[in-house]
Amino acid sequence: MLSIANLPTDLYIDGSWAKPAQPRSFTVSDPATGERVAQVADAGLDDARAAVDAAAAALPAWRDTPPRTRAEVLRKVHLLMLERLEELARIITLENGKPLADSRAETRYAAEFFRWYSEEACRNLGSVSQAPAGGYRILVQHQPIGVVALVTPWNFPSAMGARKIAPALAAGCSVLVKPASLTPLSMLALADILAEAGVPDGVVNIVPTSRSGPLVDLWLHDPRVRLVSFTGSTEVGRILLKAAADQVLKTPMELGGNAPFLVLDDADVEAAVDGAMIAKMRNMGEACTAANRFYVGAGVYDAFVRAFAERMRAQKIGHGLDEANQVGSLIDAATRDKVEELVQDAVARGARVLCGGERLPGPGYFYPPTVLGDVPADSRVLSEEIFGPVAPIVRVASEDEMVELANGTEYGLAAYLYTRDLAKGLKLAERLEFGMVALNRGLVSDPAAPFGGVKQSGLGREGSWEGMQEYMETKYVAVEW
């Protein structure tokens, strides 16, 4: 049985655990205590190349494996993840700092991608049509793109990998995974589950490193790699897009966000507060979809702010492994310091602190749930991704102004909207320049739905049938009939 004491910490290449060619390692720490959790093998360029060799060698057989067989393997991964939910959740909490309840939810969410794509693997539909001029037929099918490179962030160490690996395997691709250097353990823990479920050697290779730039760059310049799927910051996304241009790779990108949370005057305030707690506090705000700024109608402003601040104030803070705690440690000092800086900037400009507002003493990088009222428009906290448990609230006079404020960002991932008038809500949703809109809900993520952003929040979609298409090329055959 997997436990913290016997976590895999080597590289997973060609179905085996391997030491790096150069004997190097890096430390993974528990952000809540600063204590070392594991010493992980640190891949270099030789290891990166070995991973591509393995993925390229494994590709033909996996590509030609019947979809039904691939589906059965993915289904087994889903079941094994649920069987080991507690162990997997504890690993997430230890390396990331989030409370156990969030880690369990993440593990279920991650496992669900394997179930969803086990169902999609057999639904790779093409088409046959008659050419408009008559005569020949237009036959269209979708084929796996080949070896793919997957780069994931630290905020959902399991789910962001699962959201890429499951559709890639369903499509018939072989994969290279570079997990976030801060949280590589969840992906390493998945390796044995994949093998046990029947994923053949070399089809999935997991390569943690402390030198992400050169390692991923090598993959992007190896002609055997045909796609890079990235989840992380817009800044790193841009670097990878530029590098991917050299080989004209396909580049699904899930990047940063700055989600607005709109509460209209006719909203059910209690429901809006419930939704705000989820949209803001899931993962302590360390989510690309986290509500980053709240625009609230003048008619419900006081009621909403009072109830929301009360709920935020009541949250219990402490080590994520203690079941009583609802708010864990942020990932590192830099993240905590940025949160603190954004709050101080807003307060200096005239925002009112309704709860929280001061960092907590260490060890760990704890910041309390914080609500800021009447936040001035020029505050940095309204335009920058907070990635922490801080809710800046702005009083807004009209719905048109709300939409204009919401759209006034280079990001376009998720938006939240509360109104009792569904028809109005749907009309406003169409005007919101975001890839996803949650209408009277605090959560958008669902493996069956197309997740992704517009503007500088990304390219392409993950989840739904669209997520598998990202890993496919369209092949058209003109057939003389």
Q: Judged by CB under 6 A, which stretch of 54-62, 121-129, 151-159, 346-354 contacts ligand NAD?
A: 151-159
152 binds ligand NAD (CB under 6 A): yes
Annotate each residue in 183-222 with x if it binds ligand NAD (CB under 6 A) or - if it does not, as one string. -----------------------------xx--x------
Q: Judged by CB under 6 A, which stretch of 137-145, 152-160, 164-172, 273-281 contacts ligand NAD?
A: 152-160
d(CA 451, CA 413): 9
20 binds ligand NAD (CB under 6 A): no
325 binds ligand NAD (CB under 6 A): no
- Looking at the Cβ atoms of 264 and 432, the one nearer to ligand NAD is 432
Report in angstroms the alpha-carbon separations of 309 from 203, 284, 380: 49, 15, 21
Contacting ligand NAD (CB under 6 A), which of 31, 153, 260, 388?
153
Element (H, E) at 268: none
Tokens 């997991």 label which residue? Answer: 206
151 binds ligand NAD (CB under 6 A): yes
Q: Judged by CB under 6 A, which stretch of 34-42, 232-240, 296-304, 343-351 contacts ligand NAD?
A: 232-240
Tell the burial category of 390 from Cβ atoms under 10 Å away from its Cβ (0-12, 13-18, 19+).
buried
- CB of 453 within 8 A of CB of 411? yes
Q: Judged by CB under 6 A, which stretch of 7-15, 142-150, 176-184, 350-358 contacts ligand NAD?
A: 176-184
Helix, coil or strand: residue 328: coil
Ranges of H-type helices in 97-233: 100-120, 159-171, 185-197, 212-220
Contacting ligand NAD (CB under 6 A), which of 391, 413, 428, 437?
413
Residue 259 C-beta: closest distance to ligand NAD, Å: 10
Looking only at the bridges linking them, the beta strands covering 225-231 and 253-254 are parallel
Q: Which of 320, 8, 321 is nearest to 186 (CA)?
A: 8
Tokens 């205590």 label which residue? Answer: 33
Residue 458 C-beta: closest distance to ligand NAD, Å: 6
Catalytic residue among 120, 254, 385, 399: 254
155 binds ligand NAD (CB under 6 A): yes
Helix, coil or strand: residue 237: helix
> Interior CA angle at 382 toward 378 and 385, to 5°?
135
Q: Is 254 one of the annotated active-site residues of the chain?
A: yes
d(CA 328, CA 317): 6
Annotate each residue in 439-478 with x if it binds ligand NAD (CB under 6 A) or - if it does not, as one string. --------------x----x--------------------
- Looking at the Cβ atoms of 235 and 430, the one nearer to ligand NAD is 235
Q: Among positive and negative, which fits the CA dihedral 411, 272, 287, 186?
A: negative
Residue 235 C-beta: closest distance to ligand NAD, Å: 6
d(CA 324, CA 147): 44
Residue 293 exposure: Cα atoms within 13 Å on the Cβ side = 30
Residues with Cβ within 8 Å of residue 254, at least 6 apart in sequence: 160, 230, 231, 232, 288, 451, 452, 453, 457, 458, 462
- Looking at the Cβ atoms of 89 and 216, the one nearer to ligand NAD is 216
Q: Nearest to ligand NAD by Cβ — which residue?
A: 232
Contacting ligand NAD (CB under 6 A), which of 47, 120, 222, 254?
254
232 binds ligand NAD (CB under 6 A): yes
- CB of 471 within 8 A of CB of 429? no
284 binds ligand NAD (CB under 6 A): no
* Active-site residue list: 254
Q: Point out which residues bind ligand NAD (CB under 6 A).
A: 151-155, 160, 178, 180-181, 212-213, 216, 231-233, 236, 239-240, 254-257, 288, 385, 413, 453, 458
